[in-house]
Amino acid sequence: MNIRLGTADLAKYPFLNEAAEYMHQTYFNLDDLNLPELGHIVERASNRLRSEIEHGRPDYTLERHEVEILTFLVGILIIKAINSDNLTKKHCLFEALRAEKFLVRDLKAQGELSTKRLLLFKIFKELLKMDVLPSLKYQLMFEVKVADYLKRSHLFHEQEWKLINRLVHDGRVFLDPDETVRLIRAEVANLLLERIRQMNPSHIPSTIREQAHILKASIPVASSKLDNSPLAFPPCISHALDEMTAGENLPHSARVMLATYMLAIGKNIEEIVSLFKNAPDYDERVSRYQVEHLAGERGSHVRYLVPSCAKLRNDGLCFATSQCDGLINPVQFGRAVKFNRGETNVSQR
């Protein structure tokens, strides 16, 4: 298919191959970013990154395509210059979230079916090698092949993403626009991450280096694990902590597990909130509210219990070892370890 997207679409999806082609056609040179005329682009990209770092929120403002494509490029260059794996992952997730919002809107729009088809082709087929078609039977629904769906849906832990809870027929899964786009969020983020990692610019312009320097100073210090010996944590908690330290985007269920566990072993709100500092979407205000809610200090004033091992197994959060034998809740783990250690000491004596 050799039909091209409009410039308005390139503004919304600057990671598409056509956006790169556009840059190529303008004879853009990296050193042009040192020109005062492009100062506002560098500032815009920098502000966008600052908002991500400080508030954990993507920027949904939309300018004309020349501005958006350049802002996207400058953002990536600044990230490359800062050279922080956590920040890179965070930025990729926010770019994916931004694209997700525009894509949902475009797929919901009551416009030409051919426009939707083109967008689906460019983003799903060309970029992600996945067939998505507007459903002819159900208005405002899309059809995804069962195998394509399963390859992605297993990353979601919520029960409604299980295939059995989907409308399935003749090898197709029917999804609404939100679900269709949600299915590929992680994939778009990973695709961007891969591109940034492979990107090898000849040099970084001085204005970009300056912005990178300023932004780097404002990044919160990465939290380390709690003082407790990691050996005392059950494997599910250790795994979630490792993921969090690596800046991975933990699912909601894993965050609830982590917070309720830490509350159960007596950690205070401050310590628990700081645990989430490395989360790509970290916003201290939101994290604090949620932890306080789980602690029973807000909302219904009910203190949430640590999910059972059975629930964690079902949610794909269990990484049991032989030390977990006989446990029904992760909070028992610490006690079992202590008990075993006690036994060892007795026998040594």
Partner 1 sequence: MTLTKTGQDLHLMKIAFREFYFNYGNKVEEPSKIQNREFGLMSLDGVMKRHLKFSSLGGLFASLILETPSDVFASNALYDFPVLPISEKGWRGADLIFDIDLKDLDLKCRQSHSFRTCLSCSSSYLSGSDESCPKCSSNSFAESILPCDKCIKGLKNEVAKLHSFLTSDIGISSEKIITYFSGNNGFHIHVLDESFNDLNSQARADLAGYIMGIGILAEVIGAWKDTRSDFRVRFPLGGLDYGWRKRISDRLGISITSQKKLSNMIKELGGLEQFRKRVAEITKEMGVRIDSQVTTDVHRVFRMPGTLNGKSGLTKILCADLNSFDPFDESCQISSREVSVKIMLPKMKLRLKGQRFNLTEGVVHVPMFVGVYLISKGLAHAMDSNP
Residue numbers of the site for partner 1 (CB under 8 A)? 138, 140-141, 145-147, 150-151, 153-154, 159-160, 162-172, 174, 176, 316
Q: How far is the CB of 109 from partner 1 (least distance, A)?
A: 17
Q: Indicate the residue among 91 and 172 with the shorter CB distance to partner 1.
A: 172
CB-wise, 159 or 228, nearer to partner 1? 159
Q: Hey, what's the torsion of the CAs at 275, 279, 285, 288, to 10 degrees?
A: -30
C-beta pairs of 33-38 under 8 Å, 24+ apart in sequence: 33/74, 33/77, 33/205, 33/207, 33/208, 34/205, 34/206, 34/207, 38/70
**Could you tell me the smallest distance in angstroms from the CB atom of residue 177 to partner 1?**
11
Longest dimension (CA), the chain: 81
To the nearest whole angstrom, how small is the minimum distance from the Cβ of residue 138 to partner 1?
Answer: 6
147 or 214, CB closer to partner 1? 147
Backbone angles phi, psi at 335, to 5 degrees: -65, -40
Residue 23 burial by Cβ neighbours in a 10 Å radius (0-12, 13-18, 19+)? middle
Q: Residue 318 Cβ, how far from partner 1 at the closest point, in Å?
A: 13
**Nearer CB in complex with partner 1: 122/152:** 152
Q: Which is nearer to partner 1, 168 or 328 (CB)?
A: 168
The three-class DSSP label of residue 231 is: helix
Supply the minimum distance, in Å, between the C-beta of residue 55 and partner 1: 32
Sheet holding 167-169, edge to edge: 132-134, 142-145, 172-175, 167-169
Question: At closest approach, how far in Å is the CB of 168 from partner 1?
Answer: 4
**254 or 263, CB closer to partner 1?**
254
Strand locations in the chain (E): 132-134, 142-145, 167-169, 172-175
Smallest distance from partner 1 to CB 256, Å: 19
Q: Which of 219, 205, 183, 187 is nearest to 85 (CA)?
A: 219
* Alpha carbon distance, N-terminus to C-terminus of the chain: 78
Q: Provide the minimum distance between the beta carbon of 146 and partner 1 in the complex, in angstroms, as a whole number.
A: 5
Run of H or E residues at 41: helix 39-55
Closer CB to partner 1, 161 or 304, in the complex: 161
- Judged by beta carbon, residue 252 or residue 335, the one nearer partner 1 is 252
Give the nearer residue to partner 1 in terms of CB position, either 109 or 150. Answer: 150
Helical ranges in 183-283 per DSSP H: 185-198, 206-218, 235-245, 252-264, 269-275
Contact call for residues 285 and 273 (beta carbons, < 8 A): no
Tell me which residue has tokens 């500092």.
Answer: 277
**Smallest distance, partner 1 to C-beta of residue 104, A:** 15
